[in-house]
Chain A
Amino acid sequence: DVKVTQSSRYLVKRTGEKVFLECVQDMDHENMFWYRQDPGLGLRLIYFSYDVKMKEKGDIPEGYSVSREKKERFSLILESASTNQTSMYLCASRANYGYTFGSGTRLTVV
């Protein structure tokens, strides 16, 4: 089974901190995605990557950046965390047969 592993289940950070959310997949997938999940809004795409060092903005990229130096790892970076970035963050990877999601990181910015 494909595994998508997010390094932290819960994080608490202070306003203004630089935050790194890590995601690793073990099946050599080219496509990886970062979504945020908020009640009543579903999942919204922040950034995605379809190859190493390639990245594209999703629907809500403001305040975020990403890094993909190796195929298996896709990092989401909050340059200066704000309280409105308190959310559940989900990473996913994709192969021809479909998407696999990680268990999520619940980030609280105080």
Chain B
Amino acid sequence: GNSVTQMEGPVTLSEEAFLTINCTYTATGYPSLFWYVQYPGEGLQLLLKATKADDKGSNKGFEATYRKETTSFHLEKGSVQVSDSAVYFCALSEGRIQGAQKLVFGQGTRLTINP
């Protein structure tokens, strides 16, 4: 079946450091790809998405490019802030029927940014 693999955490960085969180996937067909973020005590929020190969999703300084040749969707940010501390989930959508599309998640990566 379809699956998503993220780099293991936790990841700890200093403020203004460069961030990369790796994500690779296994899927049949052409899924959409997502990054979700979960701040402490909250549910998941969509951070960015890409729906086809070579698409770049971006939001709040974060970027990820849908790479079909390497089946990857790595999350990057040039200069992280303390407020970026959260758990990040990579996900893909699967399902043939429009209404029954489901999300398949990676295991999550906890990111801590120190001042």
**Chain A residues close to B by CB (< 8 Å):** 4, 30-31, 33, 35, 37, 39-45, 48, 50-51, 56, 58, 90, 92, 94, 98-99, 101-104
Contact B42 A94 (CB under 8 A): no
Contact B100 A103 (CB under 8 A): no
CB neighbours of B42 from chain A (8 A): 103-104
Contacts A101-B44, A103-B41, A103-B43; A45 near B102 (Cβ below 8 A):
yes
Tally inter-chain residue pairs, CB-CB below 8 A.
57
User: Interface residues of A: mostly helix, strand, loop or mixed?
Assistant: strand
Interface size class on chain B is 20 to 34
Contacts A99-B46, A102-B43, A103-B42; A51 near B102 (Cβ below 8 A):
no
Confirm or deny: B45 has a beta carbon within 8 angstroms of a beta carbon on chain A: yes
CB neighbours of B108 from chain A (8 A): 37, 39-40, 42-43
CB neighbours of A37 from chain B (8 A): 108
Q: Which residue of A31, A43, A102 contacts B105 across the interface (Cβ within 8 Å)? A: A43
Contact A42 B105 (CB under 8 A): yes
Bound CA–CA A30/B99 (angstroms): 8
Q: List 18 A-B contacts (CB under 8 A).
A: A4-B43, A30-B99, A31-B100, A33-B102, A37-B108, A42-B105, A42-B108, A43-B89, A43-B108, A45-B103, A48-B100, A50-B97, A51-B99, A58-B102, A90-B43, A92-B44, A92-B103, A104-B42
